[in-house]
C-alpha cells in the first residue's frame, strides 16, 4: 500500500547516486515481499521483465517474493493511479544487463547520421508525432536517416509518409525486432529517439543509452526518471520541440573530427549507464525501501486514508470515492468473517539449497 510509505526520505533524488549502495547497508533479517502488477508473465514486455529480474535478485538475497497479478485469459489491463504527496514515494529506476547492450560503432553507416526508433507502432508510442518530425529533419539534413524497428497498426502511417515524400531510402522500416536482435538494431545508430505520448519507464531508452546512443525523448510520464539529465534530451510532445532536440543531438554528432561521433563517445556513455543501472543495485535499493516501510510502524490509520479522498478528489468526487471506499471496507470485513486469515494457506517456502545451485541473472556490483 503506497500510504505506508509516509515520511520516507527519497532514496533516489538523483539517479547518479545509484552506485552508492553497498552490502553493508543490508540487514540480515529476511522479509516477504509482495509485488502487485497488472503485467507479468506470460505477457512479455519491459514491466514483466523488470518484475521477474528484480524478484530473482531479491530471492538470491534470501527474501521471499510473491507476485500478485491477473489471472490471464482476458485481454484487459487496468492502470491504477493514486493521488499522493511526492514525499511518500521512493523512485527506483529499472535495471539493464549492460554486458548485453554494448556499443559497436563500426556497425554504423558512415555516410549517414542514423536516428534509431524502436517501439510498437501504435498511437500511444507517438507514431503520428514521429510522422510529423521525420519530414522536418529530412528536409533540413540530407545525410540523416531514420531506422525504425517495430510493428503495429500505425506502420501504415509511416509507409504512406515514405511513399508521399519519396524517402524510402532514408526511412527504413525494419518490422518487428526480436529481443535477441535489439542490440544489433541499436548499434547501427547514432541517436535514439523516443516519441511516446505516455510511458511509465521506457526500457528501450536504457538499452539505447547502454549501446552508446545519444537519447532524445518526449518529456512524459516516468521518462525524466530514466536517465540523468546530462544523458538525455527531453522535449515536449510536439513536432517542433522534438525536432529542436534532434537538432542539438545532430549538431553534437557533427563535432567529431570527421563530422561524426567518435567511438570513445559511445563507450563513455555506455560506462555511465553501466555504473548506474545494475540488477544488484536495484534489488538492494528496493530492499532498503521495504525495510524503511517496516520500520515506519505500519500503515496510516484508516480514518486518515479515508479523509484523503475528501481533500484529494474534490468536493463532489471526494464524497463519491469515500462512499465506494466505505463499501469496499465493509466487503473486506465481511470476507474476513467468512474466510479468516488464519485459514488461508501460507506461501510455499523455497528450498534455499536448490536456489543456490541455480544460475540467477543478478549482477555483482
**Region for residue 7 given its phi and psi (left: phi exceeds 0; alpha: psi -120 to 50; beta: otherwise):** left
Number of domains observed in the structure of the chain = 3
Name the average pLDDT for the chain.
Answer: 78
Q: Flag whether the pTM goes above 0.75.
A: no
Residue 138 sits in the same domain as residue 262: yes
Inform me whether the pLDDT recorded for 205 exceeds 80. yes
Residue 118 sits in the same domain as residue 262: yes
pLDDT at site 194: 95
Considering the domain boundaries, does residue 158 fall inside one?
yes
pLDDT band at 200 (very low <50, low <70, confident <90, very high): confident
Residue 85 sits in the same domain as residue 28: yes
CA dist list (Å): 99 to 214, 273, 361: 19, 11, 12
The 10 Å Cβ neighbour count of residue 27 is: 12
pLDDT band at 140 (very low <50, low <70, confident <90, very high): very high
Q: How far apart are CA 203 and CA 191, in angstroms?
A: 16
Task: Dump the DSSP string for 92-150.
Answer: ------TTTS---GGGS-TTSEEEEEES--SGGGTHHHHHHHHHHHHHH-TTEEEEEE-
Residue 53 sits in the same domain as residue 197: no
Residue 261 sits in the same domain as residue 327: no
Considering the domain boundaries, does residue 99 fall inside one?
no
pLDDT band at 44 (very low <50, low <70, confident <90, very high): low
User: What percent of the chain is modeled with pLDDT above 70?
Assistant: 76
Q: According to the per-residue pLDDT averaged within each range, which of 10-14, 61-65, 130-134, 204-208 is highest?
A: 130-134
Domain containing 194: what range? 105-276
Considering the domain boundaries, does residue 124 fall inside one?
yes
Backbone angles phi, psi at 176, to 5 degrees: -65, 135
Inform me whether the pLDDT recorded for 37 exceeds 50. yes
Q: How far apart are CA 231 and CA 216, in angstroms?
A: 9
Considering the domain boundaries, does residue 352 fall inside one?
no
**CA torsion angle for 119, 172, 194, 130 (degrees, to 10)?**
-110
Residue 318 sits in the same domain as residue 251: no
Residue 287 sits in the same domain as residue 334: no
Considering the domain boundaries, does residue 363 fall inside one?
no
Considering the domain boundaries, does residue 354 fall inside one?
no
Residue 255 sits in the same domain as residue 288: no
Residue 12 sits in the same domain as residue 160: no
Residue 137 sits in the same domain as residue 270: yes
Residue 171 sits in the same domain as residue 217: yes
Amino acid at each position: 500500500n503506497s500510504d505506508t510509505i509516509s515520511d520516507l526520505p527519497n532514496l533516489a533524488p538523483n539517479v547518479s547516486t545509484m552506485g552508492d549502495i553497498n552490502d553493508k547497508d543490508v540487514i540480515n533479517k529476511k522479509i516477504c515481499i509482495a509485488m502487485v502488477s497488472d503485467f507479468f508473465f506470460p505477457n512479455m514486455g519491459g514491466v514483466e521483465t523488470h518484475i521477474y529480474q528484480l524478484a530473482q535478485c531479491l530471492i538470491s538475497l534470501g527474501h521471499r517474493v510473491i507476485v500478485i497479478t491477473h489471472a490471464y485469459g482476458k485481454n484487459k489491463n487496468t492502470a491504477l493511479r493514486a493521488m499522493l504527496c511526492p514525499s511518500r514515494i521512493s523512485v527506483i529506476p529499472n535495471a539493464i544487463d549492460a554486458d548485453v547492450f554494448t556499443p559497436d560503432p563500426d556497425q554504423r553507416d558512415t555516410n549517414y547520421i542514423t536516428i534509431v526508433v524502436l517501439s510498437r507502432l501504435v498511437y500511444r508510442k507517438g507514431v503520428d508525432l514521429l510522422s510529423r518530425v521525420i519530414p522536418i529533419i529530412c528536409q533540413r539534413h540530407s545525410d540523416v536517416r531514420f531506422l525504425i524497428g517495430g510493428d503495429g497498426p500505425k506502420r501504415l502511417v509511416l509507409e504512406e509518409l515514405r511513399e508521399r515524400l519519396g524517402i524510402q531510402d532514408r526511412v527504413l522500416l525494419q518490422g518487428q525486432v526480436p529481443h535477441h536482435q535489439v542490440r544489433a538494431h541499436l548499434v547501427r545508430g547514432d541517436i535514439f529517439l523516443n516519441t511516446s505520448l505516455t510511458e511509465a519507464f521506457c526500457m528501450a531508452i536504457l538499452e539505447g543509452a547502454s549501446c552508446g546512443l545519444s537519447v532524445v525523448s518526449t518529456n512524459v510520464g516516468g521518462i525524466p526518471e530514466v536517465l540523468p539529465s546530462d544523458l538525455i534530451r527531453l522535449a515536449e510532445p510536439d513536432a517542433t520541440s522534438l525536432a529542436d532536440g534532434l537538432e542539438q543531438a545532430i549538431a553534437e554528432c557533427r563535432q567529431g573530427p570527421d563530422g561524426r561521433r567518435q567511438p570513445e563517445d559511445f563507450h563513455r556513455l555506455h560506462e555511465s549507464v553501466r555504473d548506474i543501472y545494475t540488477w544488484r543495485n536495484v534489488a538492494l535499493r528496493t530492499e532498503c525501501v521495504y525495510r524503511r516501510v517496516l520500520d515506519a510502524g505500519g500503515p496510516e490509520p484508516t480514518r486518515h486514508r479515508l479523509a484523503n479522498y475528501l481533500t484529494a478528489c474534490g468536493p463532489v468526487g471526494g464524497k463519491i470515492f469515500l462512499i465506494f471506499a466505505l463499501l469496499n471496507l465493509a466487503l473486506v470485513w465481511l470476507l474476513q468473517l467468512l474466510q479468516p486469515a488464519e485459514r488461508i494457506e501460507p506461501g510455499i517456502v523455497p528450498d534455499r539449497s536448490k536456489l543456490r545451485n541455480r544460475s540467477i541473472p543478478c549482477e555483482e556490483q
